[in-house]
Amino acid sequence: MTKHLIPLLLLAAAWLAGCSALPGPARPSTHYVLTDPGPVVAAAATRPGMLLLREMDASAFYQEPRLAYSRMPGTRANYEFAYWTEQPAKRLTWLLRQRLEAAAAFAAVAPLAGGIIGEYQLNTRLIDFYHDAAEPPGMALLLVEAELVRRDRGTLLGRRIFVAQEPVPSYDAEGAAAAMNRAATRVIDEIVVWLGEVNG
């Protein structure tokens, strides 16, 4: 009896495995737009000269357009079905340039790769940008390092790390994206103000 049951059980297991591999409805992915909802912080005064903005550096982990989270200190992971519409560092560079132009922090602002000669250069680095989900609903955390260089003199005028933490309204990717947008606005606000305070 047992000898007859074994082939039947193997056949049933193979059939179940085949069924699990059949195509079916997949969970849709959601793409979030990283935005700067404002309000716009005006510069205290317009600095004469052209500012060249270098594209923001980022580690390999943040070069993917995926929302990141952490449940344990010293670890990072990605949401499975949640994406940014573009790489966060690239998007943050664009948002920062738009804000600097609107705030009139410099006489003009242009990308460094544009082949334009300028007196100043702003270098930035995305250090961390994730949903700290250790305790629900968690916090959105953004760290950006910025340094202002006087190109025509070859001098470093200032360097600073900007940190923003924003509460996440819901324990999911949607809530994380909303809080990360607010964190981006705070950091951009602070960079604009800081640029107006740096001497040189």
What domains does the chain contain, in order, with CATH numbers?
41-197 (3.40.50.10610)
Instruction: For the chain, give the percent of residues with pLDDT over 90.
Output: 72
- Region 82-95: what's the mean pLDDT? 97
pLDDT band at residue 24 using 50, 70 and 90 as cut-offs: very low
pLDDT for 177? 98
Question: φ, ψ for residue 22 (rounded to 5)?
Answer: -70, 145
Question: Where does residue 85 fall: left (phi above 0), alpha (psi -120 to 50 degrees), or beta otherwise?
Answer: alpha
Asked if residues 121 and 67 have their Cβ atoms less than 8 Å apart, the reply is no
- Alpha-carbon distances, residue 191 vs 33, 50, 123, 176 (angstroms): 21, 17, 11, 22
Mean pLDDT of the residues in the chain: 87
State whether the Cα torsion 79-80-84-89 is positive or negative. positive
Average of per-residue pLDDT across 140-155: 96
Q: Could you give the CA distance from residue 129 to residue 180 in angstroms, rounded to a whole number?
A: 8
The arithmetic mean of pLDDT across residues 41-53, rounded, is 83
